[in-house]
Structure 1
Amino acid sequence: MAQTVSLSFFRFGPLSARLWALGMMGAARLSLPKIPDIGFWKLCGSGIGEGFTPVPNTAVYAILATWPDEATARDRIATHPLFHRYRRRAFEHWTVFLSTQSVRGQWSGQTPFKPAGLPPDRPRPGSMPDKPTDPAPEPGKGPVAALTRATIKPRILTRFWGRVPDISAMIGADPNVAFKIGIGEVPWLHQVTFSIWPDTATMAAFARTGPHAAAIRAVRDEGWFREELYARFAILSDTGTWNGSSPLERLRS
């Protein structure tokens, strides 16, 4: 069985629902570790627009988690009361299920994602047994997702966020991007970017050009980050909608 990563997004409307979601950034920390079979997890907020901005968006929140396999991930997210409460309060939600192809770096001192072929975390005693699941697509074939996570050094915050609008405009204008969002654990200091591409070649071409390539050089030359992680995933499946439809429909069409 291969580890599965889930990334769930929730969009909230009325002020009461947004205040509830903000409060859950603290309260859900008590419930998430108790969910059977869950491994690494993170609660994230977002920025306005598509998230690539330092201005917080009170409407959109995300939960990232790792699981022993896809069947367990889908079952827990579909049936556990915590995820049910999020879906009941949100007016739209979307979850994508991923299989890690490659990863380097750390997140909170851990390397949470395990490429297919490595054993997943051992399930907790009394948890549901492994179930069969389809194998992940071979690396280099089919659509891929990219996730970057960084802890930004406070002294370079102005330079970092000064580059983000150019990168955001560039990725927004790229017709190949099926989905993109910026999220984070702590506003301004902890930044996560997540995007979905039709294949690795298209994703790599974007990374090598324009403002994104310049930002990568600055990260290396000037040491912008205290901690960083880069991961690439195969896409297994999804559930729910975002902006009225599954973002994966763009890849299927």
Structure 2
Amino acid sequence: MPQTTVISFFKYKGRKNKWQALGRMGRPPLLNQNIEGLTFWKALGAGSGNGFSIWPDWSTFGLLTVFKSEKEANNFLDSKIISEYIDTAETFSHVLMHSIKAHGQWSKQEPFNSEVTFDEAKPIAVITRATIKPKLAYKFWRYVPSVSKSMNGHKGLIFTKGIGEWPIFMQATFSFWEKGKDMMDYAYSNKKHADMVKKTRELGWYSEELFSRFHPFEVRGNLIGSNKIYNTTSP
């Protein structure tokens, strides 16, 4: 069975529910738990709008989990731990994915094992994550908002959200595309994105970075579209 990565988003309404969700991020229910097959996880906050933002979105929180197999991922999604997140959520989605390719590290680990071959006709998801050097944070945040806005309305984009473990310095983005080709067109033909990649290389903004691509094979919940099983074959 292939390694399965799950990224979950939970949206809350009302001060009490948002406050509880913030508390879960600070002390996640996964802490000190022996969860079968779990090899890596991160509790995530979210930025306002669709992409990177210096301003938090206090209504939306994320959870990234990586399992040795699809079966173990499914068991976790049916567990009481996930119920704690869902029971008070206004809406949520779980995106189940197999890794295509990953480069770099996250918290000095390489969490994603490449399991499937890239197919530009299939749906694709991308997670980019970085720890920003404190002395370069100001320059970084000067450029990011315009790049995030350039993604809005791009052909094939289903969903995108800025996420992170810590405001300002530990940031990531998740984007979900109808087809791999749509993502590639954005990445290689969008001038603002190309300029951002160039500046990253020139200025060395990051002390740690990771770039990863996945083929999603199932979405549960209705925050990201609706329940859907994609026409992909698990390896």
Percent identical pairs in the alignment equals: 32
Q: Which residue of 1 aligns with 2:72?
A: 72
Q: Which residue of 2 aligns with 1:96?
A: 95
The Cα shift of 1:228 comes to 0.3
1:191 matches 2:151: no
Q: Which residue of 1 aligns with 2:108?
A: 109
Q: Which residue of 2 aligns with 1:220?
A: 201
* Partners of 1:142 and 1:199 within 8 A in 2: yes
Aligned length in residues: 230
Cα separation, 2, equivalents of 1:35 and 1:201: 36
Which among 132, 140, 145 is matched to residue 125 of structure 2?
145
Q: Which residue of 1 aligns with 2:34?
A: 34
1:235 matches 2:216: yes
Cα separation, 2, equivalents of 1:218 and 1:248: 38
* Partners of 2:123 and 2:177 within 8 A in 1: yes
Q: TM-score, normalised by structure 2?
A: 0.91
Which amino acid letter does the alignment assign opposite residue 90 of structure 2? F
With over 3 angstroms needed to count, the CA separation of the structure-2 counterparts of 1:240 and 1:206, relative to structure 1, is same
* Partners of 1:179 and 1:247 within 8 A in 2: no
Structure 2 unaligned residues grouped into runs of 5+: none
Query: 4+ residue runs of structure 1 moved beyond 3 angstroms?
Result: 29-33, 136-141
With over 3 angstroms needed to count, the CA separation of the structure-2 counterparts of 1:141 and 1:67, relative to structure 1, is same
* Partners of 1:97 and 1:235 within 8 A in 2: yes
* Partners of 1:163 and 1:211 within 8 A in 2: no
CA RMSD, Structure 1 to Structure 2 (Å): 2.1
Structure 1 unaligned residues grouped into runs of 5+: 117-135
